Structure 1
C-alpha cells in the first residue's frame, strides 16, 4: 500500500466506530486546516458526530461511496471505541476489491481493517490520523509529511526486538487485541495460517490480557501463525506488572517455538507509528521490511 498525496488531492475522514464528541469539532477543524496547509483537500463524513445507534448502515454506505469515488485518494477513519463491527455486514467487499485505495484506522477500527483484508484482500493501514495533532512536538506531523507527501518511510520505520526466535515472514494481520477478537467466529476474521499477528492494547491488566491471549490460542489455525508481534499494552505496562507482556504471552502460548517480537513504537500513543496490514512482511533480528 503506497500513498503519496499531490497538491489538490482529497482524503476522506470517516467514523465507523463511536461518534466523535461535540468537543472534537474543533479538533476536526484544526486537522482539516493542517491537511489543507499541506495541499490536501478534505471530505468529511456527515455522520462523524451522529450519536444515533441506528446509523450503522448509513456509515457503511458512506464508506462504500468513498471507495467508489475516484476523486478520493485515501480514507482515514478517525473514530474509536466499540461500534465499528456494526458496519461489517453492509460493506460492498467486491466493489472495494475492484476499487481499492488506502484506508487507515486503529483501535476499534481493527475490525474494519481486518474485514477488508479477509473479504476484499486489500492492504490497509493501522494508523490514527489525529496523532498529528495530539503530538505537540511536531514529530508526528513531520513523519506524516515525509511519508504521505514526500514518499519516504519514516512513519513505517518500526524498531522490533525478538523475544523468541529470530525470523518470521508472512502477511500481517491484527491490531487491537480486544477488537480483533470480536471477529472470532465471523466471516470477517482473516486467515491465520502463515500470517503474522500484531497485537496491542490500551486497557486491561493481567487478568484481561491473560484471558485475551487464551482466547486467541483457541482460534482455529492459531498454531499455524508464522509469528506474533506485540505493540504497546498501555495500562498493563504502566501498572508495573511483575511480568512483561511478552512473558505473559510466552507462558500462554502452547507452541513453545513460535517466534515473538516486541516494539514500543506502535499502539495507542501520540507518537505511534503505522503498520501495513495484509502486506508482505519479513522480520529478521531488528529488521522490519515493508
Structure 2
C-alpha cells in the first residue's frame, strides 16, 4: 500500500454519520481548504451528504461509496467525514476481496473503529485511526494533529509524541471558546513490550466481539479510548468486556477522557487496579488519542513498541 504524499487524491465519504449532521458541505469548507493547502486533491463520494432519520445514509449507499472508493484507481486514500454510531452495520456487506486487491489508506476515528479493525481482520491491510475530514477545520491544536497525521501516512516507522497542550471543548464550533491544558502522558505500570496494534474507541471496538470482524493477532497491544457519550461507569464495564475478549495484551495505551465522561484520576486508578493483568504489562494513559484534541494518528495492524518507563510509543508499518 503506497503512502500518501502531497499530490495524492483523497476520497471523502461518510461510513457513519452524514456530513449533514455537522452542518453540510459549506460548513466544512475550511477542512477542504486545509487539505488542499497541504497539497492533496479531494473528491466526495456520491452519498456522503445523504441522511435519514438517524443522520446517516442507507447501508446500501454507504457500502456503495466504500466500494467505489476502493475500486477507483485514481483514489490514493480515503477519509471518513466524521464518526457516528452505526458503521458496524456495513461489515457483512463489504467486499473484502475488492478491498484486499485495491489496498489504499483509509483513516478516521471514533465509530470508524469498527470498519478499520474489520478491514484489517479480514484482509490484513493496515488502516489508520486519526483525523477525519471534518477534523481539519479545527484551528487550535491543528499543527500537532496535522504533523502527526502526515508522519503516520508518509513514513514506514514513526514515534508518537505528546502534544504541547490539549482541550476537551467543542472544537467544531468556532463560536465557542477553547480551553487548553498542558499535556501529561502518565504511567500506570512500567515495562516495555511490542505487538500488533489493534483497538480504538472502546465501546465501538467492543461491538466486534464474537463476530468474524474482530482482529485476532497472536501478540497484540490494545489502544483504547472512550467518547463523550460514555461515562466512567460505561468505561468500567466496557474495559472488563474487552479484557475478557482479549485477555493477554502485551501493553495497553489509554486515551484521555473527555470531560463529559466525568472520569477523575482516583476513579481511573481504582478501575485499573481491579485487573491483575494490567499490573503485569506496560500501561500508559492520558495520551493524545481520539476524543480530546488534538489527536495523534496510529496504524492498526502495525507493530508497536510501548515503553512505559520512557513514556514512548514507536510504530513500524
Q: Which residue of 1 aligns with 2:60?
A: 57
1:120 equivalent in alignment to 2:120: no
Moved more, 132-141 or 262-271: 132-141
Change (3 A) 1:142 1:89: closer
1:245 offset after TM fit, Å? 2.5
Number of equivalenced pairs:
285
Gaps (5+ residues) in structure 2?
A: 163-184
1:242 offset after TM fit, Å? 5.8
Q: Which residue of 1 aligns with 2:180?
A: none
Large movers: runs of 4+ above 6 Å? 152-155
1:13 equivalent in alignment to 2:12: yes
SS at match of 2:256: strand
1:5 offset after TM fit, Å? 1.8
1:230 equivalent in alignment to 2:254: yes
1:190 offset after TM fit, Å? 0.6
Q: Which residue of 1 aligns with 2:151?
A: 147
State how far apart, in whole Å, the 2-side matches of 1:153 and 1:94 are.
25
Q: Which residue of 1 aligns with 2:237?
A: 211
Kindly provide the CA deviation profile for residues 55-81 of structure 1, in whole angstroms up to 9, marking residues without a partner as x.
212211221221121111110112211
Q: Which residue of 1 aligns with 2:135?
A: 131
SS at match of 1:168: strand
1:254 offset after TM fit, Å? 5.3
Moved more, 42-51 or 170-179: 42-51
Aligned 8 A contact 1:193 1:225 in 2: no
Aligned 8 A contact 1:11 1:41 in 2: yes
Q: Which residue of 2 aligns with 1:258?
A: 281
Moved more, 96-105 or 26-35: 26-35
Q: Which residue of 1 aligns with 2:177?
A: none
Q: Which residue of 2 aligns with 1:279?
A: 302
Change (3 A) 1:136 1:144: same
Change (3 A) 1:38 1:249: same
SS at match of 1:196: strand
Change (3 A) 1:102 1:57: same
1:101 equivalent in alignment to 2:104: yes
Change (3 A) 1:255 1:192: farther
Q: Which residue of 1 aligns with 2:182?
A: none
1:19 offset after TM fit, Å? 1.7
Moved more, 261-270 or 154-163: 154-163
Q: Which residue of 1 aligns with 2:203?
A: 178
The partner residue of 2:76 within 66, 69, 73 is: 73
TM-score when normalising by structure 2: 0.80
Aligned 8 A contact 1:132 1:144 in 2: no
Query: Where do residues 17-56 of structure 1 align in structure 2 (5 Å cutoff)?
Result: 17-21=16-20, 23-52=23-52, 55-56=58-59
1:163 equivalent in alignment to 2:163: no
State how far apart, in whole Å, the 2-side matches of 1:272 and 1:187 are.
29
1:88 offset after TM fit, Å? 0.8
Aligned 8 A contact 1:12 1:43 in 2: yes
SS at match of 1:89: helix
Aligned 8 A contact 2:121 2:213 in 1: yes
1:246 offset after TM fit, Å? 4.6
1:2 offset after TM fit, Å? 6.3
Gaps (5+ residues) in structure 1?
A: none
